[in-house]
Structure 1
Amino acid sequence: MVVLTADGARLGRVVRRGEDTFVVEKGLLLPRDFIARYEDISEVHGEEVHLRRTRDEMIPGPLLRGRERQEVVPLGTFGAPQELVVELAHEEAHPHTVIREVGQLRIHKVVRTEVRHFSIPVRREELVVERIPVTDEAQAQGVEAAPVPGGAAPFEEVSFVIPLREERVEFTRSTHVWQEVRVSKSALEELQAVRTTVRRETAEVEERGEVRHEGPVDGLHS
């Protein structure tokens, strides 16, 4: 996989992987290698690995350390005291927080149809047909039936239409709120133990020839 630094530099390809680190190498005739940590990875896109560190912040690998630049310190006057100051740097980690989206809550409202049952009394008209003979006694008593609207002459063919009615149930609907769904978001603060790696320079003193000094060479280590 191709490794890119935070400043957009193409560092090379991954050639070896370890438990906590992996080695990135670039070049054939004059190869350069770097050691990267898995925790330095910011994101991975396909075959590309993006790091949080810039190219200047990368740890050189064994190939680069074997080609370290050597500086010859110019000599002063023979016998005169001379002091050489080598500055040793170290990294400090400054933790800070960033806000990233970790999840979503989606609420979808669905309309469902329910069947409601009602028992409603309704009325309807029924037609009762009776045949009542007309007797001379009823006529003598003056009992007369209600005349048919429009009348009918004797021996006249006529049809009468009597409408029958009934009650039917109709519905009117009204909308009411029966429930509320409330979602509240709050921020919780917790202590999280994190770790990172920092680099520190140390001085390694190597003796060649007859070098006189007071005390052990290890005393010069920092």
Structure 2
Amino acid sequence: MFQRNQVMEGMTVRSIDGEKLGRVFSLGDDAFHIEKGLFFPKDYLVRYADISDIRDGEIILMHGRESLLRLSGEDKYGTTAGLGTGAATTGLRADASASTAGTWEGRSTDEVAIPVHKEELDVTKREVQAGEVRIHKDVVEEVKTVSVPVRRERVSVERRDINPDRPAMNASLQEETVVVPLRAEEVDVHKRAVLDEEVVIRKDAIEEERRVAESVRHEEVDIRTSGEDETRSLNLGPDDPTPRRS
């Protein structure tokens, strides 16, 4: 058996043979109402026990089109037959200004439940990009001077006097050139990349409180008794400890 928490306002209602009957517009403890339309001449009351199945967000009743047409006839008091009950059940109209004469006749209880709705705020959070930090590196060229000691050879010429009586050995008495190589150090410069420093970017999560405001609606109930000029209101303040009863 299906329960009230499985039925929501706005759900499409179909007969057992697939005929679209209308949509749910209000919920009660034991039954719910289908909005009036081409199929029903007025709002139609259906018990949760008359639900055959709920598929793809649609309610399937246990009765077919012909059975529903037979059960939806109105009596002289403006009441509508409920599905599967075999007895007349008072139909509640969406128009609050319509006359309620005869709605209490044939009822075995002295009270009727009228649902009063209100909207609540349902706040959720989602992550979005709030900004970004860009780190850009530029290549800067500069001239760096380094002092490097280098060596080179140089020549000095010295003429010495020798003993003239000293004999010359292997004297060829020919023209001759003697080459003495001179060496020196040259500087070669090579560049290599090294790590100079690090720049560390760190993200921290901070929590702050943000106030959001949105308009919400609620239903108010006023009671006017026939023959009286004064309207009684059931709308109490949120801090009023008085029970909401007429």
* TM-score grouping bracket, smaller chain normalisation: 0.3 to 0.5
Pick 1 or 2: higher relative contact order, CA cutoff 8 A, min separation 6.
1
TM-score by length of 2: 0.43
TM-score by length of 1: 0.47
